[in-house]
Structure 1
């Protein structure tokens, strides 16, 4: 094999390439005429190695993590690799069942930094040493031409969207998801600001994810927050009634009323996309201070992004509802025995008080008026007891008509006063309760503290009910 001719034939074509991808494709095509091998060029695009040209395989990997396989090893180290037997190399990524040997060399920029790899795999006997030298010479010329053409190809907007979709899908909280969606909208649209408005129980609200917003984004959030729920609702309603909208990049035209807060913030270019269903969704606003004309493809990508974002929001909210259902009593909405058991294990001796509560005469209500009346009683009483507790106090339903309040106090008499307040709240509903109070001793399990509170409760029952008793120290 005349390796000088191989280098010459490949090299003569490189100046005719007008893009980095063309340069790679022509290199692979010309080299394939001489080397009976599976040949590919992978270049770094964002955080992966993308296969931009290949020949000689039924299927190749589209992208490879930067440290995966022999190609990733060569890219990361910047050093060529000759593998005489791929079955002995744990990093080998199979593309053909009959491959026996592989040569992989880094594609370097003029400063010697790796920007990709040139990979050749053989399925028949071959003298590897001269092919490695030839591959290294060609990779050097290819790297120089790629950099002369502006470097490796940029990540396409659809690839960016796919990458961001993965980040949104894995977001652990709604705030993290908002931050991921906003970052994606900026990156994919190339506009400078993005704001997500989502509906809630108290009406639409402006997302305020973690991170420092840009100047325009901060002004948009401030103006929309100042505008309040009414204008925000109209902004969301417009998007859901009429669909996505975008500006035309023409100066001097007045905005409709819904967009006035955005204009006050300095917005001159805007893409507005509905998010989710009209009753619980919102709107994605992507904006810029420059006077631009977004193309329809940008709008379509923002619609895809909004759909992905809402799917992730809906997933998080569904998981939250399932967790709530799993840890809450379905009748009263109070937390039940599972969370209560976790809470009392964190009790602080002498500070955490357990208030065992039992509804007086509850069985008579069920027997006389039926279980529906009993259920209504429990729900009303639960609300009354919650209202009598302080901020931070916790109320659990641990049985049919049995409740426990967990409160933090500085002295036992403070716990007794709160218990008496609960008893008074119950009386205002037309019912009475018996309450036993206990504070954990050092080293005492929470279950033992609860038993002492129960004993105090039953002492109240024996002495006529409708009262409070502190357990013996």
Structure 2
């Protein structure tokens, strides 16, 4: 199958019987150009050969840099080219003059490329460019024919000639089955870009499943994720697929241990696949899949077994995957794991950057963002200070003080409701941000925190404040601090509500 990387063409190799090019740009016989290209097009036995013969024949009549680019999924792929030190293997559909012509279907005549911001340089001395759309007999644009000159040229006659040749090329390509389809390696490269760009774990899994289905031509792909607490199924990216629904149902019923055995098998023995032959029972590990109707399966390991998993690519048809397909799935699994690991590393770094390393609580930065979004009358700030903490440090040392802070942090977290948030904003200073309907509710929660602290053998002082309309978060926190110090003055170990 044709690969995009082999885009350059040797004219002498393609048409060895032809004499060396003898062009005269001042007096070009355009009818002869059309005849030469038409004759060579009729000899082509494939779409890529038709493109190469067009470029080779044209190069005998003009010193222009010539290329033919055809559609390939969402890009233009250079199928044939000559006259350039380097050509672009693929170009996004709307990039450059070639992409513009492909997207609009309107030819571009550019006497001075320096004034066209879409120009893509392939030679340092190019001055003029002519690009025309290549259409199939139905009129649909399937690519472009592009010519670039570094010498003076009359573009108008060349525009008509190029368009007539592009029309004949499009007709011949259609007769030969249309533009060459993407190779599997090209598909994998395209999907690798989508994997790298995914910003969530679900996005990576969705992109990996889509790539696995398209590259393997099997109908379903499921990712099993390893976890010390028990293997699990990755999120489903393919809604409405009956086979995937059945697979997920069977695997869910089989439970984490069965998923773990499939992952362990993939990591212990490497990638495996069925031969598409009837009469051969599956190993016990894969019984849930056959109950779901799977007849063809490729299973490859993903990342390390404890945190990685396995990619299962399946079909209810009895097919015969080849070793190359399995190798491509292994490459895909490697790319998927790299993307997943990158996201997990970034999440871990973000958590470390926003968390107190001692207690694990979020600290000043996230707290500032949270109180900035406080709702007046509904968000209460609870300023918390550990009573007598300096004495602990002075008497028993900082290691003992650290143990006190960690124990208190866990106790206070356990006393808060789901959705309430606890922050450490200083040495022995904490702040809880809670959503309430009445000030009395905030006081009750503060008293619950004080009781939780007592159970650890320590006491805390808590000041409570609710934001006033138009009040800055900093001002609300200052009022909560003032209420806290009122508790200190009254003997500590208590709660005080700031005036509304």
TM exceeding 0.5: yes
Cα distance change of structure 1 residues 296 and 210 upon mapping to structure 2, 3 Å threshold: closer
Equivalenced residue count is 473
Counterpart of 1:219 in structure 2 is 246
Work out whether 1:457 is the aligned partner of 2:479: no
Counterpart of 2:318 in structure 1 is 291
Counterpart of 2:7 in structure 1 is none
Counterpart among 303, 306, 312 of residue 279 in structure 1: 306
Counterpart among 124, 131, 134 of residue 104 in structure 1: 131
What is the distance in 2 between the residues matched to 1:368 and 1:327? 31
Counterpart of 2:281 in structure 1 is 254
> 397-406 vs 210-219, which deviates more?
210-219
Q: Secondary structure at the match of 1:313?
A: helix
Counterpart of 2:333 in structure 1 is 306
Counterpart of 1:238 in structure 2 is 265
TM-score, normalised by the number of residues in structure 2: 0.91
Cα distance change of structure 1 residues 12 and 405 upon mapping to structure 2, 3 Å threshold: same
After TM superposition, the structure 1 = structure 2 runs for residues 84-103 of structure 1, keeping only pairs within 5 Å, are 84-103=111-130
After TM superposition, the structure 1 = structure 2 runs for residues 438-453 of structure 1, keeping only pairs within 5 Å, are 438-453=465-480
TM-score, normalised by the number of residues in structure 1: 0.96
What is the distance in 2 between the residues matched to 1:145 and 1:134? 17
Residues 383 and 462 in structure 2, CA contact (< 8 A), matched pair in contact too? yes
Counterpart among 189, 201, 205 of residue 178 in structure 1: 205
> 434-443 vs 288-297, which deviates more?
434-443
What is the distance in 1 between the residues matched to 2:378 and 2:63? 80
What is the distance in 2 between the residues matched to 1:312 and 1:34? 50
Counterpart of 2:176 in structure 1 is 149
Q: Secondary structure at the match of 1:132?
A: helix
Q: Secondary structure at the match of 1:391?
A: coil
What is the distance in 2 between the residues matched to 1:211 and 1:270? 18
Deviation per residue, 1:106-165 (Å, 9 max, x gap): 211101221111122223333433333222222111111100111101111111111111
Cα distance change of structure 1 residues 254 and 370 upon mapping to structure 2, 3 Å threshold: same
Q: Secondary structure at the match of 1:430?
A: coil
Work out whether 1:81 is the aligned partner of 2:108: yes
Counterpart of 1:64 in structure 2 is 91
Work out whether 1:434 is the aligned partner of 2:461: yes
Counterpart of 1:4 in structure 2 is 31
Cα distance, 1:400 vs. partner? Answer: 0.9
Counterpart of 1:386 in structure 2 is 413
Residues 352 and 440 in structure 1, CA contact (< 8 A), matched pair in contact too? yes
What is the distance in 2 between the residues matched to 1:286 and 1:302? 9
What is the distance in 2 between the residues matched to 1:393 and 1:332? 17
What is the distance in 2 between the residues matched to 1:335 and 1:243? 42
Counterpart of 1:192 in structure 2 is 219
Cα distance, 1:79 vs. partner? Answer: 2.8
Stretches of structure 1 lacking an aligned partner (at least 5 in a row): none
What is the distance in 2 between the residues matched to 1:137 and 1:349? 71
Cα distance change of structure 1 residues 370 and 59 upon mapping to structure 2, 3 Å threshold: same
Residues 222 and 236 in structure 2, CA contact (< 8 A), matched pair in contact too? no
Work out whether 1:54 is the aligned partner of 2:64: no
What is the distance in 1 between the residues matched to 2:284 and 2:82? 58
Cα distance change of structure 1 residues 403 and 155 upon mapping to structure 2, 3 Å threshold: same
Cα distance change of structure 1 residues 346 and 104 upon mapping to structure 2, 3 Å threshold: closer
Deviation per residue, 1:6-38 (Å, 9 max, x gap): 222221222332210011111111221222221
Q: Secondary structure at the match of 1:292?
A: coil
